[in-house]
Amino acid sequence: MKAFGKILGLVLLGLLLIIVALGFALTHLFDPNDYKDEIRQLARDKAHLELTLNGDIGWSLFPWLGLELHEASIATLNNPKVPFADLQMLGLSVRVLPLLRREVQMSDVRVEGLNLTLSRDENGHGNWEDIGRPLPVATPAPTTAATDANAPVPEAPAPTKDVAAQRPLKLDIDSLTVNNARVEFTDAKSGQQLSAESIQLSTGAVHEGINIPVKLTAFFGSSQPVLRARTELNGELRFDRALKRYQFEDMKLSGEASGEPLQGKSMTFAAQGQLLVDLAANIAEWNGLKLSANQLRALGELNFRDLNKEPKLSGGLSIAQLDLRTFLDSIGQTLPPMAAGSLSKFELVSRLEGSKNSLALEDLNLKVDDSLFSGRIAVEDFAKQSLRVQLKGDKFDADRYLPPKSEAAASAKAARQSEVKASESSALAGAGDSPLPNAPTKAAWSDDKLLPVDRLRKLDLQADLSFGVLTLDKLPIDNAVLKTQGLDGLIKLESLSGGLYNGEFETRGTLDVRPAVPLIGLQTRIKQVPVEHFIKAQDQTPPVKGLLSLDSDLTASGNSQKALIDTLNGNANFTIDDGVLVNANLEQQLCQGIATLNRKSLSGQPRGKDTPFEELKGNLVFRNGVASNPDLKARIPGLTVNGEGDIDLRVLGMDYRVGVIIEGDKSEMPDPACQVNERFVGLEWPLRCRGPMELGAKACRVDRDGLGKIAGKVAGDKLNEKLEEKIGDKVSPELKDALKGLFKR
């Protein structure tokens, strides 16, 4: 038995020597370069590829099956003259005996100068779709047997089960190295071109079930828009093909990008985390996400499910506080001018939900400067840019995010303020006996563009916002609620309401940007809001105070303040309760008129005393920026005031004729020259008010023409009294009345 074992060993040794000798002979006596044509034909017949071998083929047989190709290219049979891949060198070695066990054990695999060119034609057909496809074969003419319905149909052979074939290959590679590779994709229909150049890939030992160190560097580029990025990727890859589970642990991606989207600036970026793809469970995860881009720093996690259907996204994102304006400027995104310090503090924490067409920030907590928001922001359809916003904020000053006025608008405003100050100085200096202030002529509104019309025409928006305090045009609105929606250029303001200085207001309206000139309609209701906050100019005392209630329905067209005012039309009614005409003494104006009729001069100096009133009300009809007020009425203790006139909103000027009626004894008049007796009671004393609206009642003067009519009436009444005394009961009552009527004419 021992001798038999020895003989068997010698036989096996002899067979091994024969195999080694045969391998040596094959590799030294057989040159594969002599069989390039046969190899090409084999590639056509078996792989359906056009293989071009311009360089030498090197090989070894045992114990490694080695192969080394130089200057080779591959094309499809449909387009054999245009290769989709070529390389300078491919070198690999495979152990022979493990192949019999369906195990691939390779030494170092090296690829040099690989160029992969992918393209899609104008019909959407990609050249990679023809890889491995044979040329189409003409359909043979049907034979009689084939057309015979009674001919027997041959049975298909029963499938055979090859257990070895069903067992997956086991990979075992010492390392993989790819140097100076390039991949390019071109779409003829869109003109888009994508590329990855100078690709350098290196790995450690490639074994299933263990961590494989991976390092990849490349330069990526696109033509629409022009963009270029340098990237480096490091990590450890782990896979299990039986479980269809792939992991990329300790992944670190970094690089720098520049191009058209960045407006000539550059962005340094980095990302890291743990990646997992489980195709058996149809999920993918990115845990421990850390992201940076210039000044931006973010943490989070991303989870994808239903990879075999419609992938769904969930996860979370947290962005650390940053200066948003500085960050956006660093990546070439310029924001409109705003107040200094705006968007200097931005912070976000949110839960993510999404799909391939949508993304939602749920349970959002957002900090913008001094404001805190919570709620939801979502893009429901990327293609339609459908934006949905539901936010609740503690406070928000909208004014600080509006663009400042242009130099032209600022200059026009300064010119008008100068005009108003000149009129005010004249009014205060002359009090009741000076000429009427001139009607203003300077435009009060800006020509600056208000609305981004092109963007609004594409807007698909539904917004529901609420604020503890919303500051808008310097008005602090308590518990403000804003609801609006817009689609296809028609934007509806469903409601803007809230409390304002212990009063309340609500506005509804529409903005139609579908025509060339935008159209605006607004319905406003104001209840018991101090009117001085609406009409107060900077560093100026408001001309009137009181609680305003107003209902209005107005329309306008245009895209600037001036255009909107010039086209303002509609109706309104207003009431001001418990008010004061500031620095305007109607009593002084009345005294001036009475003193004139008494042919006396006022002895005291005009005093800047306010005139309180119980109620001031009227109706307004707007026509192209001019509001007609035919029924102004005011109730002042001891006086009734009626008026009619126009308010020219284009220049913020007014022109009114006012009648003041004395309702009773005014014996407490401050000046003896204007003592009131019963002759003046019930008369309507005429005033004329003209000038800038900011002057209010300070722009009012006694109407000399109307005062002459009163003088005539008073004189006639006085003659009638004397006539009554003279004639007494000497004449009949009919003649007495006829004589009185004569003097009244």
Two structure tokens written together for 60: 């070894």
Evaluated on CA atoms 700, 705, 709, 711, the torsion sign reads positive
Return the amino acid letter for 53. Answer: L
- Does residue 680 or residue 218 have the better pLDDT? 218
- What is the mean predicted confidence (pLDDT) over 636-649? 86
Distance CA 209, CA 293 (A): 34
| Cα–Cα distance measured from residue 438 to residue 698, given in angstroms and rounded to the nearest whole number | 13
**In the prediction, which pLDDT does 332 show?**
92
Q: Which of 451, 466, 459, 524 is nearest to 491 (CA)?
A: 459
Least-confidence region, from 122-136, 161-175, 200-214, 677-691: 161-175
Angle at 14 between CA 10 and CA 18, to 5 degrees: 170
Residue 393 in tokens = 């904020």
Q: Does residue 56 register a pLDDT over 70?
A: yes
User: What DSSP character marks residue 603?
Assistant: -
- Among the ranges given (45-54, 248-257, 495-504), the one the predictor scored with the smallest mean pLDDT: 45-54
Q: Which region among 18-27, 254-263, 508-517, 709-718 has the lowest average model confidence (pLDDT)? A: 18-27
pLDDT score at 147: 46
Mean pLDDT across 459-486? 94
Alpha helices, DSSP H, located in 431-541? 453-457, 532-535
Entry field: residues in the chain? 745
Query: Which residues contact residue 362 at a Cβ distance below 8 angstroms, ignoring those fewer than 6 apart?
Result: 350, 351, 352, 353, 376, 378
| Residue 369 near residue 341 (C-beta atoms within 8 A) | yes
Task: Of 67, 167, 163, 61, give the one whose Cα is nearest residue 109.
Answer: 67
Strand partners, 492: 485, 510
Query: Taking a C-beta distance cutoff of 8 angstroms, is the pair 336, 330 a contact?
Result: no
Burial of 686: CB neighbours in 10 Å, binned 0-12, 13-18, 19+: buried
What tokens does 279 get?
A: 């195709």
Q: What is the pLDDT of residues 91-150, one digit of tens each?
A: 877 776 665 666 666 788 888 999 999 999 888 888 888 887 787 665 555 554 444 445
Distances (CA, A) of 456 to 411, 459, 481: 29, 5, 21
Question: What tens digit of pLDDT does each residue of 542-570 get?
Answer: 888 999 999 999 999 999 989 999 999 99
Q: Spell out a b/e string for 364-376, using b for 16 or more CB atoms within 10 Å of the CB, else e.
A: bebebbebbbebb
Average pLDDT of span 662-666:
56
| Whole-structure pTM value | 0.76
Q: Is 463 in contact with 389 (CB distance < 8 Å)?
A: yes
Question: Is the pLDDT assigned to residue 33 strictly greater than 50?
Answer: yes
Q: What is the pLDDT of residue 21?
A: 47
Longest Cα–Cα distance in the chain:
182
Provide, rounded to the nearest whole percent, the portion of the chain with pLDDT above 70. 72
Determine the Cα–Cα distance for residues 405 and 560; give it in Å rounded to an integer: 12
Cβ atoms 618, 574 nearer than 8 A: yes
Secondary structure of residue 218 in the 3-state scheme: strand
When the pLDDT of each residue in the chain is averaged and rounded to a whole number, the result is 80
CA–CA gap between residue 550 and residue 588 (Å, rounded): 30
Cα–Cα distance, 558 to 568 (Å, whole number): 10
The answer for 332, left when phi > 0, alpha when psi is -120 to 50, beta otherwise, is left
Say what the alpha-carbon torsion angle 622, 625, 630, 633 is, to the nearest 10 degrees.
100
pLDDT at 11: 42
- Answer for the pair 662, 676: CB distance below 8 angstroms, yes or no: yes
Q: How far apart are CA 469 and CA 664, in angstroms?
A: 48
Rounded CA-CA distance 443/422 in Å is 16
CA–CA separation, 609 and 536 (whole Å): 19
Looking at residue 560, the DSSP 8-state letter turns out to be S
Do residues 217 and 232 make contact, with C-beta atoms less than 8 angstroms apart? yes
Q: What is residue 301's three-state secondary structure?
A: strand
Q: Alpha carbon of 101 to those of 161, 165, 168, 270, 463: distances in Å? A: 17, 10, 10, 44, 65
Top-confidence residue, 412 or 365: 365
Half-sphere exposure of 390 (CA within 13 A, CB side): 7
pLDDT score at 165 = 47
Separation of alpha carbons 209 and 197, rounded Å: 31
